Amino acid sequence: MLPVVSRASGVFVFDTEGREYLDGCSGAINVNLGHGLPDITQRMHEQLDRVNFVYRTQFRSQPLLELTERLVDLAPGDLNHVEFTNSGSEGIEMALRLVTLLHARKHNPLKCVVLTEEPSYHGMTAGALGASGHPLRRKDLQSLLANQATVTRVRPKNGALRASVEDWQEAVDRIGPARLGAVIIEPVGGAASGAAPCDPEVLRFLRHAADERRFVLVADEVMTGMGRTGRWFGCDHAGITPDVMVLGKGISAGYAAISAVLISDRIVRALDRPVSSLVFGHTMAGAPLAAAAALAVTEYLVTHDLAARAAVAGEHLAGLLKRLCQRHPLVKDVRGTGLQRGLGLHGDPERFPGISLDLTEAARAKGLLVYPAGCTPVTESVLIAPPLRSTDAELDELARRLDGALSCLSPTPVS
Ligand SMILES: Cc1ncc(COP(=O)(O)O)c(C=O)c1O
C-alpha cells in the first residue's frame, strides 16, 4: 500500500509515519524546483488573493501575458505564438489538432499521417495515446484510439534504443510528402525508453526533411523542456527549432496544472485565421493561478540559470550512476542527458515489467523515490531525475540509497 504524504520540502518528502523519502525522480519528473519553494508559493498566494480564475475568451491576465513573453524569449527561433492547456497530453492533443487543421485548410487533407517513434510516450488522452510508441499503455484500448489508421511508428533496428537517421529516412520516404503530415519526437526519451537520447543528427535530419517535404515537426518537450536536460530545451542540443513545441511538467514544476504549445511564425502565417480561434482549449487552460505559478517558476529557473546547473549536476550524477553500473551486474547501462537520466536494467524478458518495479519498491524501502520506465524488456529501466536545485551532497545521498536498493536485488555487488 502507498504511504500517505504528510509534507514535503526541497528534495525530501515525508509520510504520516514520519518516514523520509529523497525525491530522486522529482515526482513524475516535474517537480524541477523541489518542494515547497516560498518564492513560488508566495506568488501563488498573492495571485489567489487577486483573482484565481477568468475565462480565456473573456479576459487576458497579467501573469499569462508575462508568461507568454517569457516562454517566447526562452524558446529558440520563431516559436512566437503560445497556446495554453492543462497537461502534457492535452498539449500533444492540441498539436495534433493544429496539424490536422493546417493541412485541411491548405487543401491537403491527405497529409494526415503522423509519424512517431516506438519507444515514445506522448500522453494518455486518445489522440496522444494513439500517437504514443508505448505498446503497454495502448494495450486493450485500440477501439478508443481513432487515429490508429493514420499513425505510423518508426522502430529502432538492431537492438538500438532510438531510431537512427537511416530508420527515419526510410519511414519518411516510404510515407512520402503527399501523405506525411507531421513527425512527433522526444529529444530525450522519458517513461518509454528510460531517458534514451535522440541522436542530434536525427533531429537535424527531421528539420531538413520537414522543410523539404512540408510536414510539421513537433517536439514533445513535456519532460525535456525548461532546463531538465542541461539546455533550456532538448532541441537545443541539436541546434534546431521545431515548428511546434509542447511544454508541460517543468513549466510549473508541480505547483499547478498548466502546459503550453509554442507555434512557429511559419505555421501561424499558413493558417488563415487566428490560431486561438482554431485549436480551442479547455475551461481551466491558462487560468490566472496556474499562469502565476508557471511565471514564478520560469522566472526562478532563469534567474538561477538552472539549465546550466542541470548540465553540471547531470555530469556529477552520471558519474555516480556509472559507478553503480560497474558495481551491480543488474544494471545494463546509464542513459540520458543533464538531470534526465535512466538506469537500464537486465530484467527477465518473461516477466516484464518486473525488475524496474522491484527496484522502485526496494528504493522506496531505502527512502528513495525513482520512476519505473521502459515499454519493452530492452528498454526496461528506472528514471533518475532529481530536482534541478539538488546539491552535490544530495546527489551523493541519492546514489548511496540507490546502491543500497540495488544491493537488495543483486546481493553480490562488485566492491
Ligand atoms: C514526453 C511526454 N509527453 C507527454 C506526457 C504527458 O503529460 P501529462 O502526464 O502531463 O499528460 C508525458 C508525461 O509523462 C511525457 O513524459
The pLDDT value given to residue 279 = 73
Residue by residue, DSSP assigns 353-414 as S-HHHHHHHHHHHTTEE-EEE-SSTTT-EEEE---TT--HHHHHHHHHHHHHHHHHHSS---
> pLDDT per residue over 319-348, tens digit each?
999 999 999 999 999 999 999 999 999 989
CA 372 – CA 29 distance, rounded (Å) = 11
Residue with cell 526562478: 300
* Beta carbons within 8 Å of 40's beta carbon, 6+ residues apart: 33, 253, 255, 293, 296, 297, 300
Give CA 118 to chain center in angstroms.
15
Looking at residue 192, what is its pLDDT? 97
Give how far Cα 142 sits from Cα of 25, 127, 130, 182, Å: 30, 11, 8, 21
- Residue with cell string 556529477: 316
Question: For residue 345, what pLDDT is reported?
Answer: 98
Q: Do residues 335 and 192 lie in contact, with contact meaning Cβ atoms separated by under 8 Å? A: no
Q: Cell 542541461 maps to which residue?
A: 230
Nearest CA to ligand 1 atom 3: 122
Tell me the pLDDT tens digit for each residue of 221-232.
999 999 999 999
pLDDT of res. 259: 98
What pLDDT is recorded for position 411? Answer: 67
Distance 191 CA to ligand 1 centre (A): 9
Q: What is the pLDDT of residues 159-173, one digit of tens each?
A: 999 999 999 999 999
Report yes or no: 281 and 85 within 8 Å, Cβ to Cβ.
yes
Coil vs helix vs strand at 20: strand
Residue 248 CB less than 6 A away from ligand 1: yes
Across the chain, what does the average pLDDT equal? 96
Ligand 1 mean position, distance from CA 25 (Å): 14
Q: If we measure between CA atoms, which residue out of 338, 341, 329 comes closest to residue 399?
A: 341
> pLDDT tens digit string along 57-91?
999 999 999 999 999 999 999 999 999 999 999 99
**Does the C-beta of 122 come closer than 6 Å to ligand 1?**
yes
Ligand 1 close to Cβ of residue 190 (< 6 A):
yes
pLDDT surpassing 90 at residue 298: yes
Task: Identify the pLDDT of residue 116.
Answer: 98
Residue from 30, 86, 93, 122 whose mutation best tests the ligand 1 pocket (most atoms within 8 A of CB) = 122
pLDDT at 147: 86
Q: 101 falls in which pLDDT band (50, 70, 90)?
A: very high
Query: What region, left, alpha or beta, does residue 201 occupy, with left being phi > 0 and alpha being psi -120 to 50 degrees?
Result: alpha
Q: In this predicted structure, what is the pLDDT of residue 343?
A: 98
Question: Ligand 1 within 6 A of 121 CB?
Answer: yes
Q: How far apart are CA 101 and CA 85, in angstroms?
A: 18
Task: Say yes or no: CB of residue 120 within 6 Å of ligand 1.
Answer: no
Residue among 239, 247, 241 at smallest CA distance from 220: 247
pLDDT tens digits for range 391-409 = 999 999 999 999 999 999 9
Closest CA to 361 of 376, 371, 349: 371
**pLDDT-derived band at 195, boundaries 50, 70, 90:** very high
Helices (H) and strands (E) in the chain, counts: 14, 15
pLDDT digits (tens, 9 = 90+) for 260-297: 999 999 999 998 888 888 877 899 999 999 999 999 99
DSSP letter string, 147-163: GGGTEEEE--STT-SS-
Contact criterion met (CB below 8 Å) for 26 and 389:
no
**Residue 197 above 70 pLDDT?**
yes
The rounded distance, in Å, linking the Cα atoms of 243 and 185 is 12
Q: For residues 224 and 246, give the distance between their C-alpha atoms in angstroms, rounded to a whole number.
A: 10
Angle of helix 200-213 relative to helix 165-175, nearest 10 degrees, comes to 20
Longest CA–CA span in the chain (Å) reads: 65
Structural domains present in the chain: 5-30+305-409 (3.90.1150.10), 40-303 (3.40.640.10)
Atom of ligand 1 nearest to the CA of 259: 10
Distance between Cα 43 and ligand 1 center (Å):
26
Whether residue 383 has pLDDT greater than 80: yes
**CA dist list (Å): 225 to 144, 222, 354:** 29, 6, 29
Rounded to the nearest whole angstrom, what is the distance from the C-alpha of residue 36 to the centroid of ligand 1?
Answer: 22
